[in-house]
Amino acid sequence: MNKFFICLSAALIALPVLAKDRVTHNPDYTNTESILHVWSWNFPTIADNMKQISDAGFTMIQTSPVQACFNPEGSSKKIFDDNVTEGNWYYYYQPTDWKIGNQILGSRDQMKVMMDSAAKYNIKVIVDVLPNHTAFDIDAVSDDFYKAVGGRDKMFHSQGLQGVEDYNDRLQCTLWGSGGLPDVNTENPDFQKYYMEFVNDLLSLGVRGFRYDTAKHIGVHSDPVDTASGVKENDFWDVATGRKAVKGVRLAVPYDELFVYGEVLQDKNVPEAEYAEYFGQTASGYGHVLREALEKGSINGMDVVNWHHTSAPEYLTTWVESHDTYANAHESAHLTDEQIRTGWVFLTARQNGVPLFFSRPMGSTRQQYWGDNILGARGNDEFFHPEVIAVNKFRTAMNGQKEDIQFSDNGQVIVVNRGKQGAAIININDASNFVNLPTGLPDGTYHDVVYGKEFKVKKGILKGIAAPHRTYIITK
C-alpha cells in the first residue's frame, strides 16, 4: 500500500467520523454543483472532451463503473446488442474483480490521463461503484478476488445466489440476489479490505466521489443480519464511509471531502433516514413526477416543488432521467431531447438538489434509443446545448439566492425566481405561452442570455412570450 495511505489511515484512527444530519433541511443552503453522467464514454473520450464539459458549466462528471467486469469475447463494441455477441452496457455492472480497468472504459493508465485532464479543468470525478454483487457468471469472477475474500464460499451471503422475490422484504432485499445478480457478503471483513484498497487506489488518482449502485441492497444496522455467514453486524457502510477501519485499512481521504450518494430507489420499507446517516440519496420519486409533468406538458395536478423524499434536498441527487430509466426499462427514452432539456433547466435552476444530466448516445432518436451504438464514444450534443450551458452557469451564479417557484394557471409555464438576481423561464408545452408571473427581479427590460428574447418586469410581474419547449435565463 502507498505510504501516504498508511500515514493518513493512522492519523484518522484518532479522528472519528461523526454522522452528518442529512434529514433536517437548512433553508439558507444553496447547491451550486451539477453532474454530467458520461455514460458509456471511455477514458480517452472523456479526457478529450473535458474542456467542453467545463465550458458547458458542469462541475462534476460521473463515470461508468471502472472495475474489472464480465467480458465475453468480442463484447466491447456495442452499447446494446440484441444477439448478445458484440456487447452490452450492463456488463460493466457485473464485477469480476476490484481492480481498476476494464474492456469498456480502458486501463488504469488511461484513467490517470483522464484524471489529469479533469484536474486541469477543475472537474470533480465521481465513479460508479457496485460492491453489492458480482457477475451473473460466478465462474467469470477472478481467482484473485475469490482468494482475497477467503474462497468462493465466503464471497456470497448464505442465500445470495437466490433471486429476490419481494423487494419490500428487507431480508430478501439485502441478503438475496437483486435482479438475479449474486449477492456479495459485504460484511465479510476480507471483502471489505479488498474493496477499500480499490477505493483508496481510486482516491490516489484524484477521484473525489462515488455513486453507490444498488445501495439499498446493502444492509444498515436495523436490517436482518446474515448470521448463517458468520456476520455479527451490518457494518459495510461504517467501513465504506471511513467510520471504522477493516484489517488495518481505512478510507484514505476524510469523508467530508468526498461527494457520495447511494442509489436508494424509493419504495416501501426502505430505511431512508438510516441511509441518510451515511450518504446522500437519489430522488427517484421526484424524477418520476417530473417526467410525468413533461409528458403531459403541464404540472397541474402534480407537485413538482416538494422533493418527495425524507432527506433534506441539499443531500439529494436529482435527475430528469438516469441511465436506468433510459437504457434499462426505457421508461424515459421516449421523451424528446427538448422535453429532457426543459426538465433539466427547471431542475438545475432550483436552489437545492444536485442535478445529474444523463448523456444519451450519439445519434439516438426516439425510435432508435442506441443511436450510433458504439461503446466508449461520446454522447450526443445535448450536454452542451446553449440552454443547458446557460442554466448550469446560472446555477453557479445564483449561489446564496433562495428560490421562489411560480406556475401559470394552465401549468405549462414555470418561472424559477432566485432572489432578486435572476429567473429561469420554462415552457414545458408544445404550444407558445404568455408569461405573466410574479418575480423578484427589479422592474425593467431584460433579454435572455441564449436567444436575446425580451422580457419585461413591471410592478413585480414578469411578462413575455415563451416559445414551445423553450427555456430562457434572465439575470439582473
Residues 128-155, mean pLDDT to the nearest whole number: 97
Has residue 5 got a pLDDT over 50?
A: no
Q: Are 220 and 237 in contact (CB under 8 A)?
A: yes
For the question of residue 263 being annotated catalytic, the response is yes
pLDDT of the residue at 19: 62
For residue 410, the cross-strand partners are none
Q: Report the distance separating Cα 230 and Cα 169, nearest Å.
A: 21
Has residue 120 got a pLDDT over 50?
A: yes
The answer as to CATH 2.60.40.1180 being correct for domain 401-476 is yes
Q: Quick one: how far is CA 350 from the chain centroid?
A: 17
For the question of residue 277 being annotated catalytic, the response is no
Relative to beta strand 67-69, strand 95-100 is: antiparallel
The ranges of the chain annotated as CATH 2.60.40.1180 are 401-476
Has residue 9 got a pLDDT over 60?
A: no
Q: Report the distance separating Cα 315 and Cα 260, nearest Å.
A: 9
For residue 67, the cross-strand partners are 100
pLDDT of the residue at 177: 96
The single residue of 213, 238, 321, 448 carrying the catalytic annotation is: 213
pLDDT of the residue at 85: 86
Residues 88-105, mean pLDDT to the nearest whole number: 94
Q: Which three cell numbers stand for residue 319?
A: 435527475
Q: Report the distance separating Cα 299 and Cα 375, nearest Å.
A: 36
The ranges of the chain annotated as CATH 3.20.20.80 are 3-400
For residue 127, the cross-strand partners are 63, 210
**Residue 46: in which H helix or E strand, if any?**
helix 43-48
The domain made up of 3-400 has a fold known as TIM Barrel (3.20.20)
For residue 246, the cross-strand partners are 249
- Residues 267-293: tens digit of each pLDDT: 999 999 999 999 999 999 999 999 999
pLDDT of the residue at 184: 98
The single residue of 187, 238, 263, 338 carrying the catalytic annotation is: 263
In single-letter form, the type of residue at position 457 comes to: V
pLDDT of the residue at 73: 79
Q: Which three cell numbers stand for residue 6?
A: 498508511
Chain-wide mean pLDDT for the chain?
94
**Residue 153 — pLDDT band, cuts 50, 70, 90?**
very high
Q: Which three cell numbers stand for residue 99?
A: 481492480
Half-sphere exposure of 226 (CA within 13 A, CB side): 27
For residue 462, the cross-strand partners are 437, 457
pLDDT of the residue at 128: 98
Nearest to 374 by CA among 76, 102, 162: 76
Between 87 and 471, residue with greater pLDDT: 471
- The pLDDT > 70 percentage for the chain reads 96
Q: Are 185 and 155 in contact (CB under 8 A)?
A: yes
Q: Quick one: how far is CA 77 from the chain centroid?
A: 25
Q: Report the distance separating Cα 381 and Cα 386, nearest Å.
A: 10
For residue 465, the cross-strand partners are 434
- Residues 204-251: tens digit of each pLDDT: 999 999 999 999 999 999 999 999 999 999 999 999 999 999 999 999
Q: Is 376 left (phi over 0), alpha (psi -120 to 50) or beta?
A: left
Q: Which residues contact 466 (CB under 8 A, 6 or more apart)?
A: 413, 425, 426, 427, 432, 433, 434, 435, 472
pLDDT of the residue at 87: 83
- Residues 333-378: tens digit of each pLDDT: 999 999 999 999 999 999 999 999 999 999 999 999 999 999 999 9
Tell me which long-range contacts 275-278 makes (C-beta under 8 A, separation of at least 24): 275/215, 275/216, 275/220, 275/237, 276/22, 276/23, 276/310, 276/311, 276/315, 277/19, 277/20, 277/22, 277/220, 278/19, 278/220, 278/237, 278/240, 278/241
Q: Which phi and psi angles does 464 have, rounded to 5°?
A: 170, -165
Q: Report the distance separating Cα 394 and Cα 388, nearest Å.
A: 10
Q: Report the distance separating Cα 431 and Cα 302, nearest Å.
A: 20
Residues 175-200, mean pLDDT to the nearest whole number: 97
Q: Which three cell numbers stand for residue 286?
A: 421526484
- Residues 295-305: tens digit of each pLDDT: 999 999 999 99
Number of neighbours of residue 263 by Cβ within 10 angstroms: 20
CA distances from 331 to 78, 170, 311, 328 (A): 21, 25, 25, 8
Q: Quick one: how far is CA 233 from the chain centroid?
A: 28
- Residues 42-63: tens digit of each pLDDT: 999 999 999 999 999 999 999 9
Q: Report the distance separating Cα 186 and Cα 457, nearest Å.
A: 57
For residue 435, the cross-strand partners are 464
